Structure 1
């Protein structure tokens, strides 16, 4: 139900939520992890550890990468939607300037080109360091504002956001570390409910996931239709402006800008780390074999170049050719593409009647298959607890609460006044976690560059996510839901995530 945060203090938690949700202490969680050496994934949450702990861990991993230069060539690969954190930028600069054997590469969203509002990517690009390189996700997000006589940025016109938030460390082409999650490198993120997931190469279950993330990075970096260097991005912007100057009435969808950038091939991942079903074995197959998604770790992607009419499940060929046998609510199997939506539907369908499913979702649209699957799960007897952002989630909160009352379903919904930016599902009984960057929205599944990670049978990781969920749940006081939606926000979930939309006023000529 709609509620207000009781406190922002990480230490404020009760032993149980109002509906009997068990809450593990961080101390006990760490003890359990120490007893299970197979568990190598670790999650950090602003609700439990504080926002500064997440940014400190990012800086620590960058420093750790710098200390590995004695082992050989080190590559730091970043994909980041929003980046305004000065200290993280300084850590990257320090690593690049002190160690010539480190190569830092950053793929940023187009909106990060704006040098105002403390944007760090443009500052890094301006340093001209040979081992610190930048590329921007190619986009055409502009309308022509006839009154002002200039371009105006528009979320709805954009060809899609680069929504990944990852930091990968490779040593001699072999993945060593990966940080991913909902956490942008911004001050706003540090004040919101966020998470990061840390993966290490000594966890066998993480190796394929890390390799697939690296292949996605390399494919985007190498494709001049998908990403642009800073100089090419400037030419692209000028070309867009010239097309509007020639015809101010032209449809934004007809604006092309520059057709493509120069090719910058990147192939770093060691051959021994290529996942099953890589390009060399799968590219020419008409009918790729279905993957066994009872495997403990899986990752799905969505990717879309500006010229493409719809997204596909990954930019790297080895990612967008993945197939798997999806569980259906009736207990059957269906052979499908490994997409963001199919991975979520498979996860929801696995939850048995009587079990608990906890959903923390910044953007959840009633128009998505995932929403229908959540309702279907509740109708077959799954206990459903849902945390939503208090600004973005008003409509869906009312819809879920209405369904609860009309159908007597075991659904409890609460919303936060503090931004709840996470995107995960956790099932404590089975030790299942589904997390990543993707909201449950049509834009996430078809328009933006996103990923979802699913981990099966990891009780320790699930306990960490439950601790975060229960901590936030305990802070939110339930209130009677008002179904008057006249004051709802007329923006999409991802649109409200654009923390610093680019201004054209300070665009250099």
Structure 2
């Protein structure tokens, strides 16, 4: 039997998570929330504080946000700004906005790129061609961490890419945590430690110069032997260690973390490894979690992104609802089977997904028309990645899709918020807004 959740969170300040959605243009949008976070960093720096802003992004093409970053770096020369991007932001011919940022050579703004070998060879043009299939893993985090005197004091994260498309054409979310919320502090610390390890490890990221040298090496290998398999090009020789100042080198009290009603899990796979891990920082590898089983029993298991999702799905009882907003599904992940099992035990499931990326999932669902699973898709980019269980006021959200690539290739995250009524209502409201705008997906009879 599931433990009945408390009427209010155990920690009264836990209701303070700020949730922002692109579905609601009448409130503070994710883009504005990012600008507000940068403004907060500015105020701290102008007040004489030691401020480090750490940003981890797949992509940045939003001119407004890029201008805000440059303005912050220029106006606050004692503030340090570090940006970790996916390889595609700095590769040959990328033409990305980050390249113009690099050309400014601001002394307090550093950029590194996730280490990767994402290229095929175009023999006709004798050039490299970026390929998702060839990539050894994307940097899929979307995170901004503001540190004061080496301690994280604000964290903004979610599905939201820093792109014009995300601001104007996608359904996205961004959550903001502050250090005055004790039950959220462990999440902020774990995020910051993950960033620092990704930044410093030569197995995880490269400076701009080394990434250019690596790209030249890849092209040279292909030129000598055009039939070279992408996965056979070794990258071990290319690595440089990112540097951090002394005030960012302590452990942030990681051995004293209090894991309360909020838990975070990561995924990561190094460029020259075939084995994924639960994040890059060592402290994130060894977490344990009390997983709720469908029977209501609880079992201690190693913490992973999958475990967080399963915990939410398993706790849903007959007649209760699960709200699933997910950009992409794979039938080969445990969450897919868990959702089917939940529907079989009488849980009512509503799913929002992107029709273009979830074709296989939609075909498979045509074989389960007898289950209480209702699906809606639409034309607008549905980029959310969350599950809501209203009966227990629980939300799991992050950057990771329900796909094998998210679990085994990419650098991702997923966060579980337990017993947070206010946050749960905010996600429910987002789900209802999108649901009302879309048409129900009706699988054809041949499925």
What is the aligned partner in structure 2 of residue 276 from structure 1?
Answer: 255
Change (3 A) 1:117 1:234: closer
User: Which of 327, 344, 354 in structure 2 is aligned with 1:362?
Assistant: 327
Please give the per-residue CA displacement for 1:10-41, whole angstroms capped at 9, x wherever unaligned: xxxxxxxxxxxxxxxxxxxxxx99xx754110
Please give the per-residue CA displacement for 1:387-435, whole angstroms capped at 9, x wherever unaligned: 1112222332342343132xxx221111122110000001111110000
| Greater RCO, 1 or 2 (C-alpha within 8 Å, sep 6+) | 1
Kept in 1: contact 2:326–2:402 (CA 8 A): yes
What is the aligned partner in structure 2 of residue 450 from structure 1?
Answer: 412
Say whether 1:139 aligns with 2:116: yes
What is the aligned partner in structure 2 of residue 441 from structure 1?
Answer: 403
Say whether 1:350 aligns with 2:319: no
Name which of structure 1's ranges 178-187 and 108-117 shifts more when overlaid on structure 2. 108-117
What is the aligned partner in structure 2 of residue 467 from structure 1?
Answer: 429
Say whether 1:61 aligns with 2:40: no
What is the aligned partner in structure 1 of residue 163 from structure 2?
Answer: 186
Say whether 1:74 aligns with 2:74: no
What is the aligned partner in structure 2 of residue 17 from structure 1?
Answer: none
SS at match of 1:68: helix
Change (3 A) 1:383 1:136: same
Say whether 1:214 aligns with 2:192: yes
1:448: how far off? Answer: 0.1
Tell me, in whole angstroms, the C-alpha distance in 2 between the residues paired with 1:381 and 1:297.
Answer: 27
Alignment of 1:90-489 (within 5 A): 90-114=67-91, 119-190=96-167, 191-257=169-235, 259-266=237-244, 268-269=247-248, 273-276=252-255, 295-405=260-370, 409-478=371-440, 480-482=442-444
Structure 2 length-normalised TM = 0.92
Structure 1 length-normalised TM = 0.81
What is the aligned partner in structure 2 of residue 29 from structure 1?
Answer: none
Name which of structure 1's ranges 361-370 and 118-127 shifts more when overlaid on structure 2. 118-127
Change (3 A) 1:126 1:50: farther
1:349: how far off? Answer: 1.2
Q: What is the aligned residue count?
A: 435
Task: Tell me the C-alpha RMSD between the 2 structures.
Answer: 2.3
Tell me, in whole angstroms, the C-alpha distance in 1 between the residues paired with 2:352 and 2:274.
Answer: 33
Please give the per-residue CA displacement for 1:218-269, whole angstroms capped at 9, x wherever unaligned: 0011101210000011111111111112222222111024623222343655
SS at match of 1:47: coil
Runs of 5+ consecutive residues of structure 2 not aligned to the other structure: 1-7
Tell me, in whole angstroms, the C-alpha distance in 2 between the residues paired with 1:197 and 1:411.
Answer: 28
Tell me, in whole angstroms, the C-alpha distance in 1 between the residues paired with 2:211 and 2:256.
Answer: 33
1:51: how far off? Answer: 9.9
Kept in 2: contact 1:42–1:197 (CA 8 A): yes
SS at match of 2:433: helix
Runs of 5+ consecutive residues of structure 1 not aligned to the other structure: 1-31, 279-290, 486-509
Tell me, in whole angstroms, the C-alpha distance in 1 between the residues paired with 2:214 and 2:26.
Answer: 40
Change (3 A) 1:268 1:330: farther
Tell me, in whole angstroms, the C-alpha distance in 2 between the residues paired with 1:350 and 1:479.
Answer: 26
Tell me, in whole angstroms, the C-alpha distance in 1 between the residues paired with 2:121 and 2:91.
Answer: 18
SS at match of 1:156: coil
1:55: how far off? Answer: 1.2
Tell me, in whole angstroms, the C-alpha distance in 1 between the residues paired with 2:231 and 2:294.
Answer: 39
